[in-house]
Amino acid sequence: MVFLSPLFLLGLLAVSLPIIIHLFYRRKVRNIRFSSLLLLREIIKRYSARQKLHEILILLLRCAAIGMVAFALAKPALKTSFLSSSAPCACAIVFDDTYSMAYGSNAVNRLTRARQASIAVLRTLSRRDSAAVFLVSAPDEVLSAQDIGMLTETVNLINVSYKPPRFEEAIKRAGAFLKDAQQLNRQLVIIGDMQENTYGTLANKELENQIPENVQVIFIDIGDDDATNAAVTEVKTFLDFRYPKEICVEAKIQNFSGKEMNLKPVLSYGEQKRPFKSVTLLPSTKETVRFYVPSSAIPKETGACFSIEEDGLDIDNRFYLPIGEVKRIKVLVVNGDPSPLPELDELFYIRIALAPFDPTMGISLSDIEPTLIPYFQLERVKFTDYRAVILANVQSLSNVTVKRLEDFVRGGGGLLIFSGERLAIENYNNWLGELAGVRLLEKKSFEEPLILDSVDYTHPVFRALAPVAAETVPLARFWRIMRTEPLERKANIIATYSNGDGAVFEYLFGKGKVLFLTMTCDRDWTNLPIRTVFVPLVQALTRYSVGASDEQWSFVVGEEIRVRIESDVVSLVRPDGSTTEMAARMEGSERVVRFIPDVPGVYILRDGAKEMLFGVNAEREESELARISKEALPKSDRFHYLASGTEIEAFLERLRMGVKLWDYFLYAALGFLLAELVLSNRRLPSFKKEGKK
């Protein structure tokens, strides 16, 4: 016999309560005047013996009733192979449907073996049993059915998901399901490839505590110890200014196995396939390779797929991206404080941030093409030759230049303004309120430097910094800033300092955008230009100002994509060619749509005559097929490990209890209480009746 809730056996200590009450309870002695006790002595002897026997019997019944209740709460069960097949069972199956389960051939891949194992588990259940299947990629979508046969059919329809794993949540939900189950036997069956990236959390004691104590946990391993896999982890395209008529395709390929692999890269676009030179990867290494494609050979805008030779896991061999004409973003940068010493020049840091250079390859790593001029040449420049203008500590602007700038921004151009010591507040306030929605107050210094405190990481300017914001953004210090005040047509503040003053302002003017920064782009007021966050921030500011934030963006499956649009209704074309209509919604002053891709491929969003392409790929975490060792699994009698070829049905039936006994203990407790009630109310013969005999 075993107890499913053994802690309730502590309730047996309550058996001592009736004994303690019995020992300390004494009836009060009453004095009664009587002529002689001689005739009563014999009667008292017989009566006292019967009275003691009566009290002891009641005491035993009370103790037994309390003991039976304690035993019932501890849920005793009789484990016997003779009755186990008929014992009711609740079974929760945690089914690994992540894309590493597609490893192998189509006929006998891991997913097929997982389906077969799940069906074997379900065959051990009957109509009195309950079962539910929790998918690792979507644990909130529980697969259950009143009929086990219907659930078996549902399991046969499970396919590989490209969403990231949510193994911990699946375990917690399965544990909650079993905790509420009423069946005697409760089993949690985990079926998967025991991939370390997913199952490594099993070593977490807190996760183990999510599984109720009386639940048997069975791991069914359908993985392979000798799996080999390579993956394309990243692909991007950019212009190499040495070869203006070609597009550079840069791919990162990683060998996740312990064997050398020879791979044949191919770039597919439209109906064309362009093979490249083979790449040899040593065991457990990664390599960045670059290939050049004539821009004339590629359609103006199309989806592309960079792939390598197929291996056991085909999903991560392909990387989808939009490809086509890579447009240079021409930017005019106006130097308001030029210097013959490069490190003292106002544009020393920002020109590097706009066009970072790879000295090993001799190419620029950005498609932004900056043109640098001193402030005194500003009057002679044609703004329409550029997509954005950056004013860096420019002292003042003439009325003619201001009018030209307004026309440029109104027509869709971008304008970035950096503050500085030379900037004339009075001159800027004459036109900045109309163009940027802010009014300048003063240049103020601080003994204790400020930091960027409140930043909108959902905004396109700061979105890319969100993953590393906690480590990088607070390192930037600001000893002096340009203080501002909001106007009636106030700009949108997307970042503030730790004292509450605005740091980055955004204002929509006509079809264009104006971004005003209350900091400098050199080191006069801040150390931001020498922090790692400066380059991606300048790149994001520039791209956002010209409306290039969402062009050729790469996403992963399950990640929400937010797109600014112009129409009220747009069409989304999925990788399989199906089309979905989506209505726009207003978010502040922007008209946007949001969607979450569920499969890899190229998605096309049609906004009137405009088409936007998005490359969506599966998260590469599942590409690492290294497996968790058995030693890392929890050490407990209720945890069991099965290899794929084990007789699953026979093993599960051996684990199950035969008969639950707690109902019988409750009936016994009730019987003892009824007997105690009858004896307590039964009166012994009185002295008077005894005397008459």
315 Cβ contact list (under 8 Å, min separation 6): 99, 102, 160, 162, 600, 618
The encoded tokens of residue 618 equal 């599966």
What sign does the CA torsion over 604, 607, 612, 614 have? Answer: negative
- Identify which has the larger pLDDT, 571 or 226: 571
- 270 Rama class: left (phi>0) / alpha (psi -120 to 50) / beta: left
Distance CA 2, CA 628 (A): 32
What single-letter amino acid sits at 154?
Answer: T
CA-based nearest residue to 452, from 503, 519, 486: 503
Phi, psi dihedrals of residue 28, rounded to the nearest 5°: -70, 135
Is the model's pLDDT at 690 over the cut of 50?
Answer: no
Count of all residues that appear for the chain in the document:
693
What sign does the CA torsion over 540, 472, 534, 588 have? Answer: positive
Contact 627, 96 (CB under 8 A): no
Share of the chain above pLDDT 70, in %: 85
Is the model's pLDDT at 673 over the cut of 90?
Answer: no
Q: Which residues of 488-519 are buried (b: 16+ CB within 10 A; e: fewer)?
A: eebbebbbbbbeebbbbbbbebeebbbbbbbb
Distance CA 624, CA 227 (A): 10
Q: What is the pLDDT of residues 508-526, one digit of tens each?
A: 888 899 999 999 999 999 9
Distance CA 310, CA 437 (A): 56
Share of the chain above pLDDT 90, in %: 34
Residue 491 banded pLDDT, cuts 50, 70, 90: confident
What single-letter amino acid sits at 119?
Answer: I
- Identify which has the larger pLDDT, 657 or 428: 428
- Identify which has the larger pLDDT, 547 or 565: 565
Give the CA distances from residue 129 to residues 142, 614, 647, in Å, rounded to whole numbers and listed in that order: 17, 47, 21
What sign does the CA torsion over 228, 233, 239, 241 have? Answer: negative
Q: What is the pLDDT of residues 89-116, one digit of tens each?
A: 889 999 999 999 999 866 688 999 999 9
Q: What is the pLDDT of residues 41-67, one digit of tens each?
A: 666 666 666 777 777 888 888 888 888
pLDDT recorded at residue 83: 47
Contact 164, 135 (CB under 8 A): no
Q: What is the pLDDT of residues 100-158, one digit of tens each?
A: 999 986 668 899 999 999 999 999 888 888 899 999 999 988 888 778 888 999 999 99
The encoded tokens of residue 511 equal 């079809």
**DSSP annotation of 313:** -
pLDDT recorded at residue 692: 44
| 3-class SS string, 78-137 | ECCCCCHHHCCEEEEEEECCCHHHHCCCCCCCHHHHHHHHHHHHHHCCCCCCEEEEEECC
Distance CA 397, CA 160 (A): 61
Query: Which class does domain 87-224+625-657 fall in?
Result: alpha beta
The encoded tokens of residue 577 equal 């060619």
Give the CA distances from residue 135 to residues 104, 139, 141, 445, 577, in Å, rounded to whole numbers and listed in that order: 20, 5, 7, 57, 27
- Identify which has the larger pLDDT, 255 or 434: 255
Residue 549 banded pLDDT, cuts 50, 70, 90: very low
**What's the mean pLDDT when you consider all of the chain?**
84
- Identify which has the larger pLDDT, 555 or 23: 555
Distance CA 327, CA 320 (A): 19
Distance CA 477, CA 7 (A): 57
The encoded tokens of residue 553 equal 């963006």
Burial zone of 85 (CB within 10 Å; 0-12 exposed, 13-18 middle, 19+ buried): exposed
CATH for 329-545 is 3.40.50.880
Strands 89-95 and 130-135: parallel
| 3-class SS string, 588-638 | CCEEEEEECCCCCEEEEEEECCEEEEEEEECCHHHHCCCECCHHHCCCCCC
**DSSP annotation of 260:** -
Contact 328, 364 (CB under 8 A): no
Residue 448 banded pLDDT, cuts 50, 70, 90: very high
Q: What is the pLDDT of residues 453-474, one digit of tens each?
A: 899 988 888 877 877 788 888 8
Residue spans per domain, the chain: 2-25+38-79+662-692, 87-224+625-657, 230-326, 329-545, 553-617
CA-based nearest residue to 140, from 173, 176, 113: 173
Is the model's pLDDT at 373 over the cut of 70?
Answer: yes
Is the model's pLDDT at 693 over the cut of 50?
Answer: no
- Please determine whether the domains at 329-545 and 553-617 fall in the same fold group of CATH: no
CA-based nearest residue to 259, from 283, 229, 238: 283
| Residue 430: how many other CB atoms lie within 10 Å | 13
pLDDT recorded at residue 293: 81
Distance CA 211, CA 178 (A): 8
pLDDT recorded at residue 307: 92
3-state class (DSSP) for residue 42: helix
Strands 185-192 and 216-221: parallel
Query: Which class does domain 553-617 fall in?
Result: mainly beta
- Fold assignment, 230-326: Immunoglobulin-like (2.60.40)
Give mean pLDDT, residues 663-676.
Answer: 83
Contact 119, 652 (CB under 8 A): no
3-state class (DSSP) for residue 334: strand
Strands 438-450 and 478-486: antiparallel
CA-based nearest residue to 441, from 388, 486, 504: 486
Q: What is the pLDDT of residues 273-298, one digit of tens each?
A: 888 888 899 998 998 888 888 877 77
Distance CA 178, CA 164 (A): 25
Distance CA 375, CA 365 (A): 27
| Residue 137: how many other CB atoms lie within 10 Å | 22
Distance CA 508, CA 409 (A): 9
